[in-house]
């Protein structure tokens, strides 16, 4: 397999990453390059779509694309208006929205034959509604062309716009996901354009909508560890999420996407992730995905089974 056939974000697992000590064994990923992976890559390119799998340099891309044949579609381009310290996505002002994108995503979902479609996006703070209407249209397009497919949306905070959130909720996704990302103390460094309390408020509003109008809907969030947080801060953030009505939470190891992003402060062991999982379950979450390679959309369909 030639170097050009591999995503640019897959490092040599035996070499140090940006000056850090080599990754521990539990973070080494086996590459699975097969026809399913290449077929999805070809489809994404033909439909002029973006996936968070590629843009976020996800370590699970070969498993999800090559074995489970699933992908998380990233709407509204591949340029983000935010300046998060952890993210590999390009930063700046995006292009005008593509009116064909909702239909193209729906067709890609059909061609892939997936049962659970995950839709996320870059932040588009320059748009009046942050792209909420585009999200809602894509949900309806996917469902219209793919009856029986369940849908998860992983949304930005829409700058706290309650009407924008309502537009997405009214499209009736099975899972409403918004990541808290890190503990409140680290927000200024990790998410300088976001606010911890604003994200909690969004999740609380989604939970209130669920309770009043759509009981089957799940509210989901996630965070990264390894950015310098303390263990009691992780517990506190999980408690805040549960108090806000979150049903499902994901916790994974932060991995520096490139040298200009925040460094990894430390690696959590598999045993520590199991402890976090137990703590979350004791708080009452219906599902806790906690592990070194867990990402927000990893095994996402299990949330609705």
The structural domains of the chain, with segments of one domain joined by +, span 28-304
Q: What is the mean pLDDT of residues 16-25?
A: 57
The residue whose two tokens read 């998410």 is: 191
Neighbours of 239 (CB within 10 A): 13
Is the pLDDT at 248 greater than 50, yes or no?
yes
**pLDDT tens for each residue of 42-97:** 766 776 666 555 544 555 555 555 455 566 788 998 899 998 887 877 889 889 99
Is the pLDDT at 200 greater than 60, yes or no?
yes
**pLDDT tens for each residue of 268-305:** 999 999 999 999 999 999 999 999 988 887 666 676 76
**pLDDT tens for each residue of 107-161:** 988 887 778 888 999 999 999 999 999 999 999 999 999 998 999 999 999 999 9
Residue 177 pLDDT level (bands cut at 50, 70, 90):
very high
Exposure string for 174-211, b = 16+ CB within 10 A, e = fewer:
bbbbbbbbbbbebbeebbeebebeebbbbbebbbebbe
Lowest mean pLDDT segment, chosen from 54-58, 194-198, 234-238, 242-246: 54-58
Q: What percent of the chain has pLDDT over 70?
A: 76
* Domain 28-304 is found in CATH 3.40.1160.10: no
pLDDT of res. 274: 97
pLDDT of res. 94: 87
Residue 10 pLDDT level (bands cut at 50, 70, 90):
very low
pLDDT of res. 112: 79
Lowest mean pLDDT segment, chosen from 68-82, 88-102, 176-190, 225-239: 68-82
- Which one, of 297, 298, 299, 303, lies nearest residue 121 by Cα? 297
pLDDT of res. 252: 95
Q: d(Cα 165, Cα 171) in Å, to the nearest integer?
A: 10
Is the pLDDT at 8 greater than 60, yes or no?
no
């Amino acid at each position: 397999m030639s170097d050009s056939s591999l995503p640019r974000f897959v490092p040599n697992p035996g070499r140090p990453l940006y000056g850090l000590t080599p990754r521990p064994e539990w973070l080494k990923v086996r590459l699975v390059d097969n026809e399913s992976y290449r077929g999805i890559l070809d489809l994404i390119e033909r439909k002029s779509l973006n996936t968070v799998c590629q843009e976020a340099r996800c370590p699970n891309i070969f498993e999800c694309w090559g074995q489970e044949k699933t992908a998380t579609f990233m709407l509204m381009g591949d340029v983000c208006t935010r300046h998060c310290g952890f993210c590999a996505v390009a930063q700046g002002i995006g292009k005008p929205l593509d009116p064909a994108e909702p239909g193209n995503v729906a067709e890609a979902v059909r061609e892939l034959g997936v049962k659970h479609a995950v839709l996320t996006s870059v932040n588009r703070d320059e748009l009046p509604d942050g792209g909420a209407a585009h999200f809602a249209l894509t949900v309806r397009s996917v469902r219209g062309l793919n009856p029986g497919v369940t849908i998860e949306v992983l949304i930005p905070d829409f700058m706290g716009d309650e009407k924008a959130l309502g537009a997405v909720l009214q499209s009736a996704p099975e899972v409403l996901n918004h990541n808290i990302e890190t503990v409140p103390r680290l927000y200024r460094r990790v998410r300088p354009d976001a606010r911890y309390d604003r994200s909690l408020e969004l999740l609380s509003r989604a939970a209130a909508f669920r309770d009043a109008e759509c009981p089957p809907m799940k509210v989901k969030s996630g965070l990264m560890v390894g950015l310098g947080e303390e263990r009691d801060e992780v517990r506190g953030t999980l408690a805040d999420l549960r108090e806000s009505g979150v049903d499902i939470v994901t916790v994974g190891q932060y991995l520096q996407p490139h040298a200009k992003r925040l460094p990894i402060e430390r690696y959590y062991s598999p045993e520590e992730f199991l402890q976090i999982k137990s703590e979350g379950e004791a708080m009452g979450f219906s599902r806790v995905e906690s592990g070194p390679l867990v990402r927000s959309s990893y095994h996402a369909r299990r949330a609705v089974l």
